[in-house]
């Protein structure tokens, strides 16, 4: 049997005034998703355990069938794995966003979605001026970069994601804890250097948000995750432009499928992701296709772009994969769900249960409904803890 999981990141939402009281997925034209819900099973899953942050790291760990309470060690070490950065047991990775701060307020958590080329120039300067044997900066994709701290036996710090404080003063959300001062000092020095960086001079001349400081968060040590194939008996591949998801795949010994044109933003090549998902299923048991764009729209508070992103996932990823699976003549199942909600109104993640729909061999439909948060909440299929969803989808006992 072939299995496909489609994850429109952050797709779940609340009713929006701009959409006459509908959620973005209710307003979107999603014939394939609605068919999966109507002819298959629509349910609700709680992917964020109590006491853990409602991030894509925790949510996708659970979605892939791993209990976050047992395996979660932080976001940044997963991204380090995707970037090929080896971490020892006493090493820590810290997410290093390039951000725009204006008059002490977090203006933009992504510095205008700065290009990877520009970000590399910025990170190289920080490494040259601030890097040491035990402290190094590593460029990733766009604003998503890393700081690595070596030989730190114990690290006591509490941090806040920058997308949680858009429009707020940063003073109340700076790193704290015993080692928070060290991170704050690095951020201060970085701001001093970036204020006069050539990249930012050009961005300002072009009317773009400058990367005028860094924001450190998501700290953690490397996780010890059992291989997905050992855990579930499936040869799996993962498609994503985001290092966090790719790092999960590397840590679980899943194949990372490279897709040209995948950007992790609105301009990603949706159709290419759909094509590569079909190709992956030729020699894999399972493929997970992650699309970041709906989440970015949620963080931007852009309801129009969120609806558009949801429609493009349905048209160019879910639809073609479903058609390919049906043409194959072989048993299959397809699962579509967001990892978490990113409501337009709050511009950040929430920990509410999210809807999921699955369709295929052995999946019977007890009720004919279209895909929506409300319809999923009204049904009787509720999965909590969320890490049990993968076993349910794969039809495993227990």
Asked whether residue 174 falls in the same domain as residue 263, the answer is no
> CA 136: distance to chain centroid?
24
pLDDT in single tens digits along all 398 residues of the chain: 999 999 999 999 999 999 999 999 999 999 999 999 999 999 999 999 999 999 999 999 999 999 999 999 999 999 999 999 999 999 999 999 999 999 999 999 999 999 999 999 999 999 999 999 999 999 999 999 999 999 998 899 999 999 999 999 999 999 999 999 999 999 999 999 999 999 999 999 999 999 999 999 999 999 999 999 999 999 999 999 999 999 999 999 999 999 999 999 999 999 999 999 999 999 999 999 999 999 999 999 999 999 999 999 999 999 999 999 999 999 999 999 999 999 999 999 999 999 999 999 999 988 889 999 999 999 999 999 999 999 999 999 86
Cα distance between residue 8 and residue 24, in whole Å: 12
Q: pTM, whole model, 2 decimals?
A: 0.90
Q: Which of 176, 196, 220 is the last residue of a domain?
A: 220
Q: Spell out the residues 6+ positions from residue 128 whose beta carbon is closer than 8 angstroms to its own.
A: none
> CA 329: distance to chain centroid?
32
Cα distance between residue 136 and residue 123, in whole Å: 9
Q: Which of 167, 185, 220 is the last residue of a domain?
A: 220
pLDDT tens per residue across span 29-64: 999 999 999 999 999 999 999 999 999 999 999 999
CA distances to 2, 11, 109, 131 from 348, rounded to whole Å, are: 34, 12, 11, 32
Q: Which of 220, 248, 271 is the last residue of a domain?
A: 220
Asked whether residue 264 falls in the same domain as residue 385, the answer is yes
Asked whether residue 242 falls in the same domain as residue 308, the answer is yes
Asked whether residue 337 falls in the same domain as residue 267, the answer is yes
Question: Is residue 79, in this structure, part of any structural domain at all?
Answer: no
Domain that holds residue 273: 2-72+224-394
Asked whether residue 98 falls in the same domain as residue 213, the answer is yes
User: How many structural domains is the chain composed of?
Assistant: 2
* Sole residue written with tokens 């995707």: 82
Asked whether residue 313 falls in the same domain as residue 261, the answer is yes
Which two structure tokens, joined as six digits, stand for 193? 């250097």
């Amino acid at each position: 049997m072939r299995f496909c999981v489609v994850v429109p990141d952050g797709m779940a939402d609340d009713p929006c005034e701009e959409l006459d009281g509908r959620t973005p997925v209710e307003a979107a034209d999603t014939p394939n998703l609605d068919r999966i819900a109507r002819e298959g099973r629509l349910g609700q899953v709680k992917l964020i355990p109590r006491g853990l942050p409602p991030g894509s790291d925790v949510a996708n760990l659970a979605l892939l069938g791993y209990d976050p309470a047992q395996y979660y060690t932080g976001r940044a070490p997963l991204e380090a794995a995707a970037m090929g950065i080896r971490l020892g047991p006493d090493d820590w990775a810290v997410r290093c966003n390039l951000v725009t701060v204006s008059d002490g307020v977090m203006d933009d958590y992504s510095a205008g979605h700065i290009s990877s080329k520009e970000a590399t120039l910025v990170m190289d300067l920080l490494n040259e001026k601030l890097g040491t044997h035990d402290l190094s900066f590593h460029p990733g994709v766009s604003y998503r970069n890393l700081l690595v701290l070596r030989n730190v036996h114990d690290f006591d710090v509490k941090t806040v994601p920058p997308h949680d404080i858009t429009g707020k003063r940063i003073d109340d959300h700076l790193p704290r804890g015993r080692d928070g001062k060290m991170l704050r000092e690095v951020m201060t020095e970085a701001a001093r250097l970036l204020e006069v960086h050539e990249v930012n001079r050009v961005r300002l001349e072009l009317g773009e948000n400058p990367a005028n400081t860094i924001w450190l968060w998501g700290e953690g040590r490397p996780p010890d995750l059992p291989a997905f194939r050992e855990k579930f008996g499936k040869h799996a591949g993962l498609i994503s432009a985001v290092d966090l998801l790719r790092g999960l795949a590397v840590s679980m010994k899943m194949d990372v499928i490279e897709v040209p044109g995948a950007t992790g933003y609105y301009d990603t090549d949706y159709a290419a992701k759909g094509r590569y998902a079909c190709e992956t299923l030729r020699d894999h048991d399972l493929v997970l296709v992650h699309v970041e764009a709906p989440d970015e729209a949620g963080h931007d508070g852009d309801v129009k772009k969120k609806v558009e992103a949801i429609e493009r996932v349905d048209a160019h990823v879910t639809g073609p994969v479903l058609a390919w699976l049906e043409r194959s003549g072989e048993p299959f199942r397809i699962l579509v769900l967001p990892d978490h909600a990113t409501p337009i109104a709050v511009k950040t993640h929430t920990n509410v249960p999210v809807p999921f729909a699955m369709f295929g061999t052995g999946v019977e439909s007890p009720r004919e409904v279209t895909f929506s948060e409300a319809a999923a909440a009204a049904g009787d299929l509720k999965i909590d803890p969320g890490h049990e969803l993968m076993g349910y989808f794969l039809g495993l006992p227990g």
